[in-house]
Amino acid sequence: MNKTHRLCLVLGDQLSFELASLKQLDSERDTVLLVEVMEEASHVPHHPQKITLIFSAMRHFAKALQQRGIRVQYVTLDDPQNSGSVPGELRRWQSLLQPDELHLTECGDWRLEQSLKDCGLAIQWHTDTRFYCTRLEFASWAEGKKQLRMEFFYREMRRKSGLLLNGDGSPVGGAWNFDAENRKALPKGVRAPSPIRFSADAITLDVLALVAKNFSSHYGALDTFDYPVTHADAQALWDYFLDWGLAAFGDYQDAMASDEPFLFHARISAALNIGLLDLRQLCSDVEDAYWSHRIPLNAAEGFIRQLIGWREYVRGVYWLKMPDYAGGNLFGNSRPLPPFYWTGDTKMNCMGQAIGQSLKHAYAHHIQRLMVTGNFALLAGIAPSQICDWYLAIYMDAFDWVELPNTLGMVMHADGGYLGSKPYCASGQYIKRMSDYCRNCAYKVTESTTDDACPFNSLYWHFLMRHGDLLRSNQRIGMVYKNLDRMTEPKQQALWERGQKLLAKLDAGESF
């Protein structure tokens, strides 16, 4: 083997042929390194399907690189020489190959990037061009602003990308945001398309056996794994959504339904986040579908907003504010995460549905995460670090840059309102309006203080009562406090006592 000029380390969430650090790769002199390491697979108890997705996609990517004539060094988890960490493997292969240069694209995790910067090697870092907005561009946009708002950032991204704009630069349809048209509950009789599934090939079967052997203590099913692990299969998943899901996505993206884990959602976030799909191509496809009259504007704008608005915004906040951001805890929460988050063993049907499908598929859509499992954690005063670790562990698409701001900032409002202007707290009435979960629940969503009352109802008011000093001045939630103040004192007391009983049950380790 010729002496290596460049050693390019590619991480498990960087499986793109267009990765910045792979540009100008010399197939005669350069080597690409991919490593499966225990530290990344177990620093939180990642869902077995998530580990399977990443390891299998890495192996398929390595094979595809080799078929393109590129030299690849691939380290499997069970390699006896495996040091167990990414920095350890980079040091080991630097010593073995003696490359002239080490190349690496920016990480998606501050912890990992910092460990690589501290590992004593001279690394040439590359900007991650898979995103529209670089870290420096976001920092420049945020500079001098006391409070950031995604809506204004999103407009900048629309202008930069040129997506859904008229010739004069104004937004198509006369508005930048059609979020108000994205909140319909699923009507009776409307059926979602059957999800497309992908069979395991020999590579994936080997990974499934490896994961079953090494991660049996991690929560989550393994036998239901059916995600795409190649660029071609990820493209097939995307094409299926374009044909069968996107037109209704705009109307029903916030809807929830019993035993319908996917509805009209694309399920492409995991493939996108690890590099199997290209952000710009996705946006172009959605825009083309709108201009060719295949989908309505609220579907096109709503989907593009998720991609170049919210997704890019949370990444920007993450890299702007880390590492201090991870310690945010506005409400001073200290309650541990209830055990039923890991089992789904609860009589609350909405929680059982959302947690159950998360354990089965490593998936839940954004409203299930924000307004069911997240809402409960907020109302119950769960320690932000514990619910953040749960989201990072349980979801297929969860990487620190996207999970942490969404959970700590949007779900838990633990950053004091930096990411979002208000806490997304709600009673059971929201869940009733957006789903059919309440129909088959042991609790009554119409009650607030009785023993069989929906826990969300009293916990909602209990949360507002105990944090009034922090929230009454919030303009977006102030009206709710006027409703609270109009309640009789006995009503307020009954809500408080019911909330206290529920929290005491959590403290005793009981489910309800």
User: CA-based Rg of the chain, rounded to a whole angstrom?
Assistant: 24
- One domain for residues 173 and 299: yes
Residue range 428-481, pLDDT digits in tens: 999 999 999 999 999 999 999 999 999 999 999 999 999 999 999 998 898 899
Residue range 274-294, pLDDT digits in tens: 999 999 999 999 999 999 999
Q: Is 460 helix (H, G, I), strand (E, B) or coil?
A: helix
- One domain for residues 117 and 26: yes
Asked if pLDDT for residue 188 goes beyond 90, the answer is no
Tokens 């390019």 correspond to 8
Q: How far apart are CA 271 and CA 235, in angstroms?
A: 9
pLDDT (0 to 100) of residue 172: 95
Residues ≥6 apart with Cβ < 8 Å to 316: 133, 135, 138, 139, 141, 142, 153
Confirm whether 452 is domain-assigned.
yes
Please report, for the domain that includes residue 96, its CATH number: 3.40.50.620
Residue range 93-137, pLDDT digits in tens: 999 999 999 999 999 999 999 999 999 999 999 999 999 999 999
- One domain for residues 46 and 79: yes
Asked if pLDDT for residue 271 goes beyond 80, the answer is yes
Amino acid at the residue 382: I
- One domain for residues 345 and 400: yes
Confirm whether 180 is domain-assigned.
yes
pLDDT (0 to 100) of residue 322: 98
- One domain for residues 359 and 316: no
Confirm whether 220 is domain-assigned.
no
- One domain for residues 301 and 402: no
Q: How far apart are CA 50 and CA 47, in angstroms?
A: 5
Average per-residue pLDDT in the chain? 96
- One domain for residues 27 and 46: yes
Q: How far apart are CA 334 and CA 322, in angstroms?
A: 21
Cα-based torsion angle of the residue sequence 339, 444, 452, 455 in order, rounded to the nearest 10 degrees: 40
Average pLDDT over residues 28-44: 97
Q: How far apart are CA 89 and CA 76, in angstroms?
A: 11
Q: What is the DSSP letter of 122?
A: -
Residue range 228-258, pLDDT digits in tens: 999 999 999 999 999 999 999 989 999 999 9
Confirm whether 497 is domain-assigned.
yes
- One domain for residues 99 and 177: no
Of the three residues 126, 151, 185, the one that is the final residue of a domain is 126
Please report, for the domain that includes residue 152, its CATH number: 1.25.40.80
Q: How far apart are CA 175 and CA 300, in angstroms?
A: 13
Q: Catalogue the E-assigned strands of 84-195.
A: 101-105, 123-126
Asked if pLDDT for residue 222 goes beyond 90, the answer is yes
pLDDT (0 to 100) of residue 2: 61
Number of structural domains, the chain?
A: 3
97, two tokens: 């190959």
Q: What is the DSSP letter of 7?
A: E
Of the three residues 108, 126, 144, the one that is the final residue of a domain is 126
- One domain for residues 362 and 458: yes
Confirm whether 232 is domain-assigned.
no
Residue range 66-95, pLDDT digits in tens: 999 999 999 999 999 999 999 999 999 999
Residues ≥6 apart with Cβ < 8 Å to 462: 379, 495, 496, 498, 499, 500, 503
Q: Of 76, 69, 119, whose CA–CA distance to 94 is shortest?
A: 119
Cis, peptide link before residue 323, omega less than 30° from 0: yes
Asked if pLDDT for residue 484 goes beyond 60, the answer is yes
- One domain for residues 173 and 287: yes
- Is 499:459 a contact under the CB 8 Å cutoff? yes
Domain region containing 396: 339-507
Confirm whether 334 is domain-assigned.
no
Confirm whether 333 is domain-assigned.
no
pLDDT (0 to 100) of residue 181: 77
Per-residue H/E/C for 421-454:
CCCCCCCHHHHHHHCCHHHHCCCECCCCCCCCEC
- One domain for residues 183 and 78: no
Q: Of 125, 76, 107, 36, whose CA–CA distance to 399 is shortest?
A: 107
Of the three residues 106, 126, 146, the one that is the final residue of a domain is 126
Distances (CA, A) of 285 to 56, 270, 301, 475: 27, 18, 12, 38
Average pLDDT over residues 333-345: 97
- One domain for residues 156 and 99: no
88, two tokens: 């350890």
Provide the whole-model pTM.
0.96
Sign of the four-CA dihedral 399, 256, 149, 20: positive
pLDDT (0 to 100) of residue 408: 98
Asked if pLDDT for residue 395 goes beyond 90, the answer is yes
Q: What's the pLDDT band for 189 if we cut at 50, 70, 90?
A: confident
The region that residue 190 occupies, defined by phi over 0 for left and psi between -120 and 50 for alpha, beta otherwise, is beta
- Compute the residue count for the chain: 512
Q: How far apart are CA 333 and CA 74, in angstroms?
A: 43
503, two tokens: 């929290």
% of the chain at pLDDT higher than 90: 93
Q: How far apart are CA 413 and CA 427, in angstroms?
A: 17
Asked if pLDDT for residue 32 goes beyond 80, the answer is yes
Confirm whether 405 is domain-assigned.
yes
Please report, for the domain that includes residue 417, its CATH number: 1.10.579.10
Neighbours of 98 (CB within 10 A): 10
